Amino acid sequence: MIYNRVALIGLGLIASSMAHAMRRDGLAGEITGTARSAETREIARELGFCDHIFETAAETVKDADLIVLAVPVGAMEAVAKEIAPHLAPGATVTDVGSVKGAVIEAVQPQIPEGVHFVPGHPLAGTEHSGPRSGFAELFDNRWNILTPTEDTDPVAVAKLRSLWEGMGANVDEMDPDHHDLVLSVTSHCPHLIAYTMVGVADDLRRVTDSEVIKYSAAGFRDFTRIAASDPTMWRDVFLTNKDATLEILGRFTEELFALQRAIRTGDGDHLHAYFTRTRAIRRGIIEAGQDTDEPNFGRGKTR
Amino acid sequence: MIYNRVALIGLGLIASSMAHAMRRDGLAGEITGTARSAETREIARELGFCDHIFETAAETVKDADLIVLAVPVGAMEAVAKEIAPHLAPGATVTDVGSVKGAVIEAVQPQIPEGVHFVPGHPLAGTEHSGPRSGFAELFDNRWNILTPTEDTDPVAVAKLRSLWEGMGANVDEMDPDHHDLVLSVTSHCPHLIAYTMVGVADDLRRVTDSEVIKYSAAGFRDFTRIAASDPTMWRDVFLTNKDATLEILGRFTEELFALQRAIRTGDGDHLHAYFTRTRAIRRGIIEAGQDTDEPNFGRGKTR
């Protein structure tokens, strides 16, 4: 047991998966939880992954030694203000937001003296959301990036690190701004692009009836999975990681136009060289253990 | 047994998977094969998924009642010219190219009187290529789109259809130009976009060392899988499906700029509405049976 009482604010995919994982590995003495919507609280009660479900964040954090802010990035400030007067001295507050600079700006000023704030971002998720979507294995072999500042208590960081390691994750530390740039490339911009492509297909669907869905091939199928992620979470990500997103989108558009021009002018050498270069990066990801290399993607009988 | 002797021209992912599937289901009396590279032929011999491997396409097609052109789209015309004098009367030639208009233009004029050409495109694949990448289940519950013209013999089409159904695929027929537009949306443009985003990340990797790979999150990881596909095949797809690709890329850029502007101006409502709309299309794909809805994507222990 690492924490006596863990309070989950927000009961979506990440928080419910944390609850399942903490229970599986006996990492928390007690787990409390709350969510804004009565329906979510009711589902959480029914599923029973928390010991107590409260109507307010204030009640939920009472006597907790770890508080997890698992709400959309745009809601972090209000939640932090609400719980601040009720936090126990010595407690640690962490978050699971996909943007770190903006969350630190919103939350840190609300945290009272004697309470530790350790911002974090588990790089794990599915396209599903809500309390029913959680499962204990979500964090297995995934990274959680903690972005403590110079003032953050190293003991609080170490304890939080061992919780995440207990839930199966690998933990690393990074500067918040650097986190936001790297994630813009590896996650935020790919999501925006997938949303865009699926939107284009949806427009065309009115012309081609259900064919776009029926004949959804590999490329598009993966895009729709990405583009099915929670709209509120992603709206907040783009609004709060604006600078890095616009910077990377600018680079993306430049490169896309160069490829588009190669198609228009029939420059096959340019296309071939580009596609050969990108193929190599995939090898790196498999070697880094961030995806599997099964020939059939886990479908079919050879698995 | 549907065909007495099937000749595979090209021995990559698709052809080797066809050989495995035909053998599994006893669909071909004999399977012959050839590939341009001596190394590929050697590997195919070693793996043994064909009964005979020949050095030339001319020898390979001798006495075959089905000939499968499984080479990159840009190589179809030369192969068709090479085999034409050696085709048996009454034989059927098909192909597995991702573009249909350009392949018909290149191949149909080479086909001699009394031989049937039935263009086709199996919507199946992985990011792997070459003779070692094939597996019998590749086509299970995937679509194969045949694009016969008015002159195509319906008996030859029906026979080819039963071969694909025997290998586990669903078969549909479509107008070639319409095929090329639909596939541009569901496959060709998503691939180009994924290639582009991975290229951007690769540039940035020089700045951030291995972080882009190490912290490769869901969005980017799926993109790298797409962007690892065979460079020659994809170069040919874009060069031969130029009009539809440029049309869809134009729409894509328009929509991306609108989203980019919403981010810049902080228009959260626009983003949220867009992301909500795209989420719905995912549901359609799962209902159409083109992907699974497992909460952990087949990773982890709950599978």
Q: Which residues of B touch A234 (CB under 8 A)?
A: 271, 275
**Global confidence as pTM:** 0.82
A201 to chain B nearest CA, in Å?
Answer: 6
Kindly identify which residue of chain A lies nearest to residue B127, measuring between CA atoms.
A295
Q: Is the predicted pLDDT of residue B213 greater than 90, yes or no? A: no
- C-beta atoms surrounding B159 within 10 Å: 17
Q: Which residues of B touch A277 (CB under 8 A)?
A: 199, 202
Among residues B132, B147, B174, which one ends one of the domains?
B174
Cα dist from B242 to A11, B83, B149, B156, B189, whole Å: 47, 27, 21, 30, 11
A67 - beta bridge partners?
Answer: A7, A93
User: What pLDDT was estimated at residue B2?
Assistant: 97
A163 to chain B nearest CA, in Å?
Answer: 19
d(CA A214, CA B170): 11
- Across the interface, do A218 and B251 touch by the CB < 8 Å criterion? no
Same domain, A115 and A52: yes
- Both tokens of A208, joined, read 């081609």
CB B139 within 8 A of CB B122: yes
User: What pLDDT was estimated at residue B298?
Assistant: 31
User: What pLDDT was estimated at residue B302?
Assistant: 28
User: What pLDDT was estimated at residue A126?
Assistant: 83
User: What pLDDT was estimated at residue A222?
Assistant: 78
Phi and psi for B34 in degrees, rounded to 5?
-150, 160
Kindly identify which residue of chain B lies nearest to residue A200, measuring between CA atoms.
B252
CB B217 within 8 A of CB A187: yes
- Across the interface, do B211 and A301 touch by the CB < 8 Å criterion? no
Q: Which residues of B touch A270 (CB under 8 A)?
A: none
Q: Which residues of B touch A188 (CB under 8 A)?
A: 219
Same domain, B117 and B25: yes
- Across the interface, do A182 and B215 touch by the CB < 8 Å criterion? yes
Longest dimension (CA), chain B: 67
Cα dist from A251 to A279, A284, B200, B202, whole Å: 19, 22, 7, 12
Q: Which residue has the tokens 């309390």?
A: A131
Kindly identify which residue of chain A lies nearest to residue B171, measuring between CA atoms.
A215
Q: Which residue has the higher pLDDT, B205 or A17?
A: A17
Q: Is the predicted pLDDT of residue B82 greater than 80, yes or no? A: yes
* Mean pLDDT across B213-237: 82
- Across the interface, do A256 and B281 touch by the CB < 8 Å criterion? no
Kindly identify which residue of chain A lies nearest to residue B129, measuring between CA atoms.
A295
A5 to chain B nearest CA, in Å?
Answer: 27
Q: Is residue A199 part of a domain?
A: yes
- Across the interface, do A290 and B178 touch by the CB < 8 Å criterion? no
CATH number of the domain that residue A33 is part of: 3.40.50.720
- C-beta atoms surrounding B269 within 10 Å: 9
- B27: containing domain: 3-174
User: What pLDDT was estimated at residue B281?
Assistant: 77
- Across the interface, do B200 and A252 touch by the CB < 8 Å criterion? yes
Q: Is residue A296 part of a domain?
A: no
Contact pairs from chain A to chain B, CB under 8 Å:
339
d(CA A49, CA A165): 20
* Mean pLDDT across B254-281: 93
Q: Is residue A281 part of a domain?
A: no
Cα dist from B271 to A77, A249, B189, B277, whole Å: 21, 16, 22, 10
Binned at pLDDT 50, 70 and 90, residue B208 comes out as low
User: What pLDDT was estimated at residue B186?
Assistant: 87
* Positions of chain A with pLDDT under 50: 294-303
Percent of chain B with pLDDT over 70: 91
- Across the interface, do A281 and B198 touch by the CB < 8 Å criterion? yes
Counted domains in chain B: 2
A137 to chain B nearest CA, in Å?
Answer: 6
User: What pLDDT was estimated at residue A299?
Assistant: 31
* Mean pLDDT across B102-118: 97
- Across the interface, do A219 and B137 touch by the CB < 8 Å criterion? no
Q: Is residue A136 part of a domain?
A: yes
Give long-range contacts, CB 8 A cutoff, 24+ apart: A172-178: A172/A143, A172/A144, A172/A145, A172/A146, A172/B215, A173/A145, A173/A146, A173/A147, A173/A148, A174/A145, A174/A146, A174/A147, A175/A147, A176/A100, A176/A101, A176/A104, A176/A119, A176/A147, A176/A149, A177/A100, A177/A101, A178/B208
Q: Is residue A256 part of a domain?
A: yes
Q: Is residue A45 part of a domain?
A: yes
Same domain, B36 and B93: yes
- Across the interface, do A253 and B252 touch by the CB < 8 Å criterion? no
Q: Which residues of B touch A291 (CB under 8 A)?
A: 216, 221, 224-225
A113 to chain B nearest CA, in Å?
Answer: 33
B25 to chain A nearest CA, in Å?
Answer: 14
- Across the interface, do B137 and A284 touch by the CB < 8 Å criterion? no
Among residues A174, A196, A220, which one ends one of the domains?
A174
User: What pLDDT was estimated at residue A295?
Assistant: 39
Q: Is residue A37 part of a domain?
A: yes
Strands B120-122 and B143-146 come out as: antiparallel
Same domain, A116 and A191: no
Q: Is the predicted pLDDT of residue B139 greater than 60, yes or no? A: yes
Q: Which residues of A touch B292 (CB under 8 A)?
A: 299
CATH number of the domain that residue B221 is part of: 1.10.3660.10
B165 to chain A nearest CA, in Å?
Answer: 16
- Across the interface, do B140 and A300 touch by the CB < 8 Å criterion? yes
Q: Which residue has the higher pLDDT, B16 or A204?
A: B16
Q: Which of B17, B206, B221 to mutate to test the interface with A (most CBs of A within 10 A)?
A: B221
Same domain, B91 and B238: no
Phi and psi for B195 in degrees, rounded to 5?
-55, -45
Phi and psi for A62 in degrees, rounded to 5?
-55, 125
- Across the interface, do A251 and B190 touch by the CB < 8 Å criterion? no
Same domain, A36 and A157: yes
Q: Which residue has the tokens 């863990």?
A: A6
Same domain, B167 and B184: no
User: What pLDDT was estimated at residue A34?
Assistant: 98
B52 to chain A nearest CA, in Å?
Answer: 25
Q: Which residues of B touch A191 (CB under 8 A)?
A: 219
Same domain, B69 and B117: yes
- Across the interface, do A143 and B210 touch by the CB < 8 Å criterion? no
User: What pLDDT was estimated at residue B294?
Assistant: 46
